[in-house]
Amino acid sequence: METTVKLAKAAFRKQMRATLKTVPFESIEQQSKAVTGKLLATPEYQRSSKIALFLSMKGEVDTTQILRDVLESGKQCFIPMCNPEAMEMVLLKSWDDFEKLPRNSWGIPEPQPQDGRLNALDPSVGGLDLIIMPGLAFDHSGNRIGYGKGYYDKFLAKCFTVATEKSYQRPSTIAIALREQYVPSVPAGPQDLKPDQIIMSL
């Protein structure tokens, strides 16, 4: 059964990547603007002071204006730092800090381990309020399928465990997506965690 799900996911991911490559830049730009407006208006975003946010790559909702709002609003912003096994969320101090980040092999700005940045799961943070996450595709039942590394599923599981152990409030999770990423069904498994909300430009 597990092998069947893995094969289904691999085929689905290949198909979705091909689909997303055909989405015009202008459409992504328009959808990103609409999604950003919806997200910033949510109560979850407005009441949050400690936010984890992904930095977008080509074929995803552009998170640049979300990032700018987080920083300009004085909220703490944590962004992904990945290794082959796992992802951490670490502190981004300012827009100037963001502009100085080197780009990884995906072309995404990413902090380096030697930077010594504050980790979102450090006890001094006191727990995240909101995690804004990507995905390759989402379905009508709220399921999410990622890019295949399991970064967010592992991070969310760890984050929720820490919240329980430390008696923090569990962070809200909001996924943002292009309309092309919303499909009737995705081959999700039991380890694929559903976001609390999915925001699109529809």
Q: CA-CA distance, 178 to 184, in Å (whole number)?
A: 14
Q: Please enumerate, by residue number, every residue annotated as part of a binding site for ATP.
A: 9-13, 144-152
How many residues belong to the chain? Answer: 202
Q: Please enumerate, by residue number, every residue annotated as part of a binding site.
A: 9-13, 55, 60, 144-152
- CB count, 10 Å around CB of 168? 17
Strand order in the sheet with 182-183: 144-145, 137-139, 182-183
Q: Please enumerate, by residue number, every residue annotated as part of a binding site for substrate.
A: 55, 60
